[in-house]
Amino acid sequence: MAQPSITLFNTLTMQKEPLVPLEPGAVRVYVCGPTVYSYIHVGNARTFTSFDVIVRYLRYRGYRVTYVRNYTDVDDKIIKAAKETGEEPVALAARFVEIFREDAKALHMKEPDVSPKVSEHLPEILRIIQTLVDKGVAYESQGDVYFAVSRYPEYAKLSKRNLDDLRAGERVQPGEQKREPLDFALWKAAKPGEPAWDSPWGKGRPGWHIECSAMSARYLGESFDIHGGALDLIFPHHENELAQSEAANSKPFAKYWMHCGFLDMEGAKMSKSLGNVVRLRDALVKVDAEALRFFFLSTHYRHPLNFAEKAIADAEQRMEYFYETLRKVDERVAGKDFGKGPLHGEPEKFLRDFETVMDDDFNFAGALGGLSGLFTLMNELVDKPPVKDKALVGRTLQALREIVGKVSGVLGLFEDDPAQWLLRHRDRAVKERGIDVAEVERLIAQRNDARKAKNFAEADRVRTELKSKGVEIMDTPTGTTWKVAPPATEAAPV
């Protein structure tokens, strides 16, 4: 079976390239995971969501994927945070690993095949450091071990930075024992009160960059297909990973490098150092997780995305529109047999178009744009079918619904029961707007009585009263339902 023609943008070559795995039919992926010293912010979540979809799509297209995403649980930031909370660093890191898993699950992320922790891979880390020392590409200095950048001629081939400019901008900081400003730590000598492990150079702990080189080699081999992360990891983290891995193993490290764009807030990159972060856990209290995932996918993964209140509100309204459509379709076709026969139009074209845009560097936004047409057709077939053949309409709706299921398995959207999602969405809106549910139900019952008595003027009056309370009612074949109408200042989904 021929593999699909997927192209992806490779940061190493700065151009789109066809995906040609090192092993035919198999793709090995490594993504730099969270440093678990605090809650991740929504910018981190966008990156991890993007790679979740990329991995899902590769599997959908028939590849055998091995997906590794690590946890950095040994780090300066963890040590600092533990001192502030009074916890042991290992315990604090373990707590935030579990918090991350909970938040990732809420965002419909699938667990990677392997989620290694730095603290559990010290033997692999020590081996690669020793190899670099033996090759003369690294050196020990008063218990620290540094990578000698000058001994690796291809340094900066990923970030494309000018070495002279880098040298001019770097200084040896107090407490550092390195020979040159650009040299970076592979091993840090132990300090009082910090976690430490035995090594040939004395007690200490690994530097930040070496961990990913060791863990990727452990689970994916010394050469693998895709290395991913956010744009801010290109330098120095990914540059240093590449240098030390290729210097140690004398072979190419990752064939393709993929990087996600920043999530901006008021025109600035979201980061803890700037103090302009929105924690994912806080966002999930106010925003439906699936709507937030939809928002992350609404722009190409390489492009910047602005985290704005209106954009999030629009995403929630779009998700409500999608789930309302699916509820109507399910009520019409679930469990029914419309027999075999022709379909209206060409439903499979939506799936082919989805694959075409996703094959082109995983264009999430293009895929969502194609879904809009699919949902428009489903609404048309339910509300104003262009043909009178009910069996043909039913078969077509079932075919379209099956396509939604295939697409949702890739995007991680529309995986919930429509009625349950809509009820949760309504409950959140009710609380936010202070709507009296008992009063709404009483008025709906009053309207139903008026309709049965053919008192349509009274029924219209009640509808108007409900509307003034921010409630929109819908009459369906199974009865009257209601939702909280969007505020007048917000545009309804189209």
Alpha carbon distance 18, 16 (integer Å): 7
Strands, sheet with 254-260, edge to edge from the N-terminal-most edge strand: 64-69, 26-31, 224-230, 254-260
- Is 473 in a helix, a strand, or coil? strand
Report whether 241 belongs to an annotated binding site.
yes
Alpha carbon distance 354, 371 (integer Å): 8
Give how far Cα 415 sits from Cα of 243, 290, 315, 394, 401, Å. Answer: 42, 9, 16, 21, 12
What kind and span of H or E run contains 123? Answer: helix 122-134
Let me know: does 107 contact 295? Beta carbons within 8 Å: no
Q: Report how far Cα 164 is from the mean position of its chain's Cα atoms.
A: 36
Q: Which two tokens stand for residue 144?
A: 């620290």
Placement of tokens 């202070």 in the chain: 434
Of 132, 97, 112, 144, give the one whose Cα is nearest residue 240: 132
Report whether 260 belongs to an annotated binding site.
no
Contacts of 70 (CB under 8 A, 6+ apart): 30, 32, 33, 115, 116, 117, 118, 211, 212, 215
Report whether 237 belongs to an annotated binding site.
yes
Alpha carbon distance 334, 216 (integer Å): 46
Alpha carbon distance 62, 65 (integer Å): 9
Report whether 212 belongs to an annotated binding site.
yes
Q: Which two tokens stand for residue 354?
A: 């989805």
Alpha carbon distance 176, 93 (integer Å): 26
Q: Which two tokens stand for residue 174?
A: 């107090």
- Asked, as a colleague might, if the bond just before 236 is cis with ω within 30 of 0, I would say yes
Let me know: does 227 contact 256? Beta carbons within 8 Å: yes
Let me know: does 210 contact 186? Beta carbons within 8 Å: yes
Task: Write out the binding residues.
Answer: 32, 212, 237, 241, 272
Cite the annotated binding site for ATP by residue number.
272
List the binding residues for Zn(2+).
32, 212, 237, 241
